[in-house]
A and B are shown apart, each in its own frame.
Chain A
Amino acid sequence: MKDIFTDLYNKVLGFFKQTEKKNDESSKEVACNRLKFVLMQDRTNLTPELMDRMRKELIELLSKYVEMDKEALELGFEQEGSQMALMLSIPVLRAREEAEIEATLAEEDAKKAKEEADAEKDSEGEEDESNDSEAQSDNEADTEEVEAEIEITEEPQGQEEDSENNNSSGEENKSSSSSKKTKTAKK
Chain B
Amino acid sequence: MTITAENVKEKDNKKGDIMSGRVIVITSGKGGVGKTTTNANIGTALAKAGKKVVMIDTDLGLRNLDLLLGLENRIVYTIVDVVEGRCKLRQALVKDKKNPNLCLLAAAQTRDKTAVTEEQLRDICEELKKDFDFILVDCPAGIEQGFQNAVAGASEAIVVTTPEMSAVRDADRIIGLLEAREEIKSYKLLLNRVRPNMIKSNDMMSVDDVVEILSAPLIGIIPEDTGIITSTNKGEPIVNDEKSLAGQAYRNVARRIIGEDVPFLNLEEDTGVLSKVKKFFAGLIGKEK
Q: Once the chains are docked, how many angstroms separate the CA of A160 from the CA of B205? A: 26
If A13-B274, A32-B213, A36-B213 touch, whether A42 touches B172 (CB-CB below 8 Å) is yes
Check B202 for interface membership: any CB of A closer than 8 A.
yes
Q: Once the chains are docked, how many angstroms separate the CA of A82 from the CA of B213? A: 9
Check A62 for interface membership: any CB of B closer than 8 A.
no
Check B193 for interface membership: any CB of A closer than 8 A.
no
Check A43 for interface membership: any CB of B closer than 8 A.
yes
Contact, CB under 8 Å: A157 / B1: yes
Task: Count residues of chain B with CB under 8 A from any CB of chain A.
Answer: 28
Contact, CB under 8 Å: A79 / B215: yes
Stretch at the interface among B5-13, B53-61, B111-119, B276-284: B276-284
Stretch at the interface among A2-10, A132-140, A175-183: A2-10
Instruction: Say which residue of A28, A34, A82, A156 sits within 8 Å of B204 (CB atoms).
Output: A28
Check A170 for interface membership: any CB of B closer than 8 A.
no
- Mark contacts of A18-37 with chain B using CB atoms, 8 A cut-off: 1 yes-contact digit, 0 otherwise: 00101000111101101110
Residue of B1, B168, B201, B278 ringed by the most chain A CB atoms within 10 A: B201
Contact, CB under 8 Å: A16 / B273: yes
Check A81 for interface membership: any CB of B closer than 8 A.
yes
Contact, CB under 8 Å: A20 / B274: yes
Q: Once the chains are docked, how many angstroms separate the CA of A86 from the CA of B37? A: 39
Check B203 for interface membership: any CB of A closer than 8 A.
yes
Task: Count residues of chain A with CB under 8 A from any CB of chain B.
Answer: 30
Which of chain B's residues have a CB closer than 8 A to the CB of A43?
Answer: 172, 176
Which of chain B's residues have a CB closer than 8 A to the CB of A36?
Answer: 213
Residue ID in chain A nearest B168 by CB atoms: A35
Which of chain A's residues have a CB closer than 8 A to the CB of B209?
Answer: 28, 32
Which of chain A's residues have a CB closer than 8 A to the CB of B212?
Answer: 79
Residue ID in chain A nearest B185 by CB atoms: A157
Contact, CB under 8 Å: B285 / A12: no
Check B241 for interface membership: any CB of A closer than 8 A.
no
Check B165 for interface membership: any CB of A closer than 8 A.
yes
Instruction: Say which residue of A2, A28, A38, A79 sits within 8 Å of B169 (CB atoms).
Output: A38
Check A48 for interface membership: any CB of B closer than 8 A.
no
CB distance from A82 to the nearest CB of B (A): 5
Check A39 for interface membership: any CB of B closer than 8 A.
yes
Which of chain B's residues have a CB closer than 8 A to the CB of A79?
Answer: 212-213, 215
Contact, CB under 8 Å: B281 / A158: no
Check B206 for interface membership: any CB of A closer than 8 A.
yes
Which of chain A's residues have a CB closer than 8 A to the CB of B51?
Answer: none
Which of chain B's residues have a CB closer than 8 A to the CB of A38?
Answer: 169
Instruction: Say which residue of B165, B173, B213, B281 sits within 8 Å of A12 (CB atoms).
Output: B281
Which of chain A's residues have a CB closer than 8 A to the CB of B277?
Answer: 12-13, 16
Contact, CB under 8 Å: B205 / A28: yes
Q: Once the chains are docked, how many angstroms separate the CA of A22 from the CA of B203? A: 9
Q: Once the chains are docked, how many angstroms separate the CA of A42 from the CA of B274? A: 39
Contact, CB under 8 Å: A156 / B172: no
Check B123 for interface membership: any CB of A closer than 8 A.
no
Residue of A2, A31, A156, A158 ringed by the most chain B CB atoms within 10 A: A31
CB distance from A28 to the nearest CB of B (A): 5
Check B183 for interface membership: any CB of A closer than 8 A.
no
The 3 A-B residue pairs whose C-beta atoms are closest, nearest first, are: A26-B202, A9-B281, A82-B215
Q: Can you spell out 30 A-B residue pairs with CB atoms less than 8 angstroms apart?
A: A2-B285, A5-B284, A5-B285, A6-B285, A9-B278, A12-B277, A16-B277, A17-B274, A20-B274, A27-B202, A28-B199, A28-B204, A28-B206, A29-B202, A31-B164, A31-B205, A32-B209, A32-B213, A34-B165, A35-B165, A35-B168, A36-B213, A39-B169, A42-B172, A42-B173, A43-B176, A79-B212, A79-B213, A156-B179, A158-B1
